[in-house]
């Protein structure tokens, strides 16, 4: 089997961005509101309405949000490091994104708190702590910001789940220093790494499961454990729903009710992998379903799109969506150059 790694990397970056741009106009909406607006599943780009984060922050039709833009900044930093990224390099990358990306105004709560502390020179270990104690708020660091941007950590390590998880862990600190967030980031990074060298969706799903287990262990040993649902348990639930559903609407409703679709990592990351498994590697259906699932649609579609794009490459991507997406976003991010840089970083 001959695989064009650079093509698959570009496929991951593009389909992740397409998913982000499709989900931006439906973020925080319900499944029923999305169905009413689109006549079913999301079937194309629209101008983000004012009751969404993208619409309220000047987002344009087919334009990415903070989800994919953070991914692209991370990809550039990893490429510049020839596949390597240490803690200081990651912090510089994060501040570069916060200071220069037009999408930094979309910043999630965990990332925003750390960025503010970095700018003010405050002790990062005190961000989110309760009173004078060292205990942090349960909600601090268990969101999906690390997982939404982490795919390049896998794309630079084709087939190497362990290496992808080690690099993913670097990008979790200091903003997402919890077992659930680290497990979620490692889940997506591991899936992306395996997708680059696989032909089967089941191989990618198995790598996601393995990555989640690795991340949970790293989180317990090197970060902090928090109260709440376990990433691996929610992932099992999501995959069971994907296995047992054959109707799109039933699938979306069951996923929302049982697994969840919010900004919490233990909800949105399993939901994204569940969508990937249910769509069976179909690029259009993967991001369309993810953008139709309600709540944190842009993030779920970004993660599912990255995994699917890494598996299928550029050829199966919807040509109409791809053309419009690249016209809007390539002048800012130059995705072909990012893909080439990640491919070189594997050497």
- Write the pLDDT tens digit of every residue in 56-74: 888 999 999 999 999 999 9
Alpha carbon distance 343, 263 (integer Å): 31
* Per-residue pLDDT, 129: 79
* Per-residue pLDDT, 347: 45
Contact yes or no for 48/24 (Cβ under 8 A): yes
Contact yes or no for 43/26 (Cβ under 8 A): no
Angle subtended at Cα 330 by Cα 191 and Cα 293, rounded to the nearest 5 degrees? 45
Quick: pLDDT tens for 287-298.
Answer: 999 999 999 999
Mean pLDDT of 27-40: 97
Residue 152 pLDDT > 60: yes
Quick: pLDDT tens for 175-231.
Answer: 999 999 999 999 999 999 999 999 999 999 999 999 999 999 999 999 999 999 999
* Per-residue pLDDT, 1: 63
Quick: pLDDT tens for 229-258.
Answer: 999 999 999 999 999 999 999 999 999 999
- Architecture of the domain whose range is 21-64+144-332: Orthogonal Bundle (1.10)
Per cent of the chain over pLDDT 70 is 99
Alpha carbon distance 75, 53 (integer Å): 24
313: left (phi over 0), alpha (psi -120 to 50) or beta: left
Report domain extents, the chain. Answer: 21-64+144-332
303 versus 3: the higher-pLDDT residue is: 303
Contact yes or no for 148/303 (Cβ under 8 A): yes
CB-side neighbour CA atoms (13 Å) of 62: 13
User: Over the chain, what is the mean pLDDT?
Assistant: 94
Residue 138 pLDDT > 80: no
Contact yes or no for 7/312 (Cβ under 8 A): no
16: closest CA among 301, 336, 291?
A: 301
Residue with tokens 């317990």: 220
Q: What is the pTM of this model?
A: 0.96
Contact yes or no for 22/42 (Cβ under 8 A): yes
């Amino acid at each position: 089997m001959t695989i064009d790694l650079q093509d698959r990397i570009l496929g991951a970056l593009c389909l992740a961005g397409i998913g982000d741009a499709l989900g931006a106009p439906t973020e925080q909406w319900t499944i029923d509101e999305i169905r009413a607006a689109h006549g079913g599943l999301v079937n194309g780009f629209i101008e983000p309405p004012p009751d969404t984060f993208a619409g309220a922050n000047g987002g344009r039709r087919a334009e990415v949000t903070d989800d994919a833009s953070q991914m692209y900044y991370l990809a550039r930093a990893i490429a510049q490091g020839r596949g390597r990224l240490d803690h200081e390099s990651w912090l510089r990358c994060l501040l570069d994104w916060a200071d220069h990306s037009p999408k930094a105004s979309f910043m999630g709560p965990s990332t925003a708190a750390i960025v503010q502390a970095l700018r003010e020179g405050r002790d990062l270990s005190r961000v989110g702590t309760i009173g004078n104690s060292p205990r942090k708020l349960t909600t601090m660091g268990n969101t999906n910001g690390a997982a939404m941007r982490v795919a390049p950590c896998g794309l630079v390590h084709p087939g190497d789940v362990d290496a992808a998880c080690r690099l993913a862990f670097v990008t979790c600190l200091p903003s997402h220093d919890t077992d659930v967030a680290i497990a979620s980031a490692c889940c997506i990074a591991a899936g992306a790494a395996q997708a680059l060298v696989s032909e089967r969706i089941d191989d990618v799903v198995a790598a996601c499961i393995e990555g989640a287990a690795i991340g949970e262990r790293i989180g317990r040993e090197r970060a902090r454990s928090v109260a709440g649902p376990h990433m691996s348990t929610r992932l099992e639930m999501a995959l069971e729903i994907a296995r047992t559903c054959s109707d799109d609407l039933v699938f979306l409703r069951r996923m929302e009710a049982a697994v969840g679709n919010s900004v919490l990592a233990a909800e949105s990351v399993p939901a994204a992998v569940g969508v990937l498994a249910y769509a069976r590697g179909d690029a259009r259906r993967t991001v369309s379903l993810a953008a139709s699932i309600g709540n944190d649609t842009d993030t779920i579609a970004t993660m599912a799109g990255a995994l699917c794009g890494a598996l299928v490459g550029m050829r199966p991507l919807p040509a109409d969506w791809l053309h419009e997406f690249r016209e809007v976003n390539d002048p800012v991010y130059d995705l072909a150059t990012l893909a080439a840089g990640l491919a070189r970083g594997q050497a």
